[in-house]
Amino acid sequence: MKDLTRPILPGSVIGVLGSGQLGRMFAIAARRMGYRVHTFSPETDTPTGQIADVEIRAQYDDLRAVRSFAAAVDVVTFEFENVLSETAQAAAEFAPVRPGGHILHVTQHRLREKTFLASKGLPVTPFCPVRSDVDLEAGLARFGYPAVLKTAGFGYDGKGQTRINAPEEAAPALAAAGSQEMVLESFVDFACELSVVAARGIDGDFAHWGVIENVHRHHILDLSIAPARISPAVRDEAIAIARAVLEQLEVVGVLCVEFFLTRDGRLLINELAPRPHNSGHLTFDACVTSQFEQQLRAVCGLPLGSTALLRPAAMANLLGDLWRDGSPDWSAALRYDQVKLHLYGKLEPKAGRKMGHLTAMAPTVEEAASLVRQARQALTPTP
């Protein structure tokens, strides 16, 4: 096992479990600061692999391959939370894993996550476990309609979620889920969705990028703007809750806390993501230190960087749907000279698949949001 106390300095090797766009932007930040990057996933020619020095192709449950991978790097981090906790444990035999495998164990399972948060007195959407039709019936009697039935494990971008609007929809929703453990949540009629992306260093130092306002479409993040258009009191409360989450979990690295802001002004934690987050992509262009560089600094035991926002900013996701009628018109979007284009190197566009994003900066959040929407619209001009 490598020394857990010494800083991991430029020239060292960072191991990334996962190989998507988050790993790609992390690898860009790491290479810029002089680190080498090894990535591990079941695929090749991946978004991260195109940037990394070494791309290892193996299944996450191939623990022999995981151990070999970890033995060749100085620290291991991950770019998505659905890596098996056993994988993180195996890697930890040879290198520090940051954030730790215990955080994966909590956050990749909705019931464990919500139970943990509730046990720490943190505000969560009302929920109950569902293991049978009796549990579901009791939960619906408690929460009323509508309510949301979710798989307990391995969900993202709205996958594994069913809204139950009436009693006759309950049995079909449970049957469609199969025999897996579920969570029933009270439906939240929210005013808006918010996120706080924050980082915690190995010494307990805390940094955050303020509160980001998010708009979803079909359960997939569509637009993020910073700073969020909320009151100072809500902003301060959201940051305080995020700090409590990172401290209670003893995070070393970056973690995003996703919130619902209810119409009566209450904050409820919806989900945690123990890694850089889609809503924080705008930090790549709009902040002194991006969430990706900060992840690197934290897991390497280096001082955290300034998170100052240079200008109000907005980020718009680019989904595979934009390729429906051929390649998007990149020149048209880039005529907006305050817009930055990020493409992830994914080989095949698919409907709903995140292929890239645009970031715009402007004097106000309203102008930034309008600008990034216009640029995205220009990619597929109306006939």
Give Cα separations from 89 to 63, 121, 152, 374 (angstroms). 9, 28, 21, 46
Task: Identify whether residues 55 and 149 lie together within a single domain.
Answer: no
The Cα 372–Cα 301 span in angstroms is: 36
In this structure, the answer to whether residues 370 and 261 fall within a common structural domain is: yes
Looking at the 3D structure of the chain, how many domains does it have?
A: 3
What integer pLDDT is reported at residue 177 of this predicted model? 78
Residue 8 lies in a domain: no
Residues 150 and 194 in one domain: no
Q: Cβ neighbours of residue 190 under 8 Å, at least 6 residues apart?
A: 260, 261, 262, 263, 268
Same domain, 134 and 243: no
Same domain, 232 and 322: yes
Any domain includes 119: no
Q: Of 126, 163, 158, 159, which is closest to residue 146 (Cα–Cα)?
A: 163
User: Residues 173, 79: one domain?
Assistant: no
- Same domain for 181 and 65: no
**Pairwise CA distance, residues 235 & 237, whole Å:** 5
Residue 225 lies in a domain: yes
Q: Is residue 6 part of a domain?
A: no
CATH number, domain at 209? 3.30.470.20
Residues 6+ away with beta carbon under 8 Å from 141: none
Query: Are 156 and 133 in a shared domain?
Result: yes
Domain stop point among 186, 201, 225: 186
Structural domain harbouring 49? 13-97
Q: Is residue 161 part of a domain?
A: yes
Q: Which pair of structure tokens corresponds to residue 18?
A: 């996962």
* Cα first-last separation, the chain: 61
- Residue 2 in any domain: the answer is no
Q: What is the pTM of this model?
A: 0.94
Residue 158: which CATH number? 3.30.1490.20
Given 164, 186, 208, the domain boundary residue is 186
- Residue 352 maps to a domain: yes
Could you tell me if 83 and 157 lie in one domain?
A: no
Say whether both 164 and 20 belong to one domain. no
Q: Do 92 and 196 fall into the same domain?
A: no
Query: Last residue of some domain: 161, 186, 211?
Result: 186
Question: What does pLDDT average to in each consecutive run of 10 residues of the chain (383 residues)?
Answer: 78 97 98 98 97 97 98 96 88 96 91 96 95 92 94 66 91 83 93 98 98 95 98 98 98 98 96 96 98 98 98 98 93 96 96 97 98 96 60
Question: 181 and 60 in one domain?
Answer: no
Report if residue 5 sits inside a domain.
no
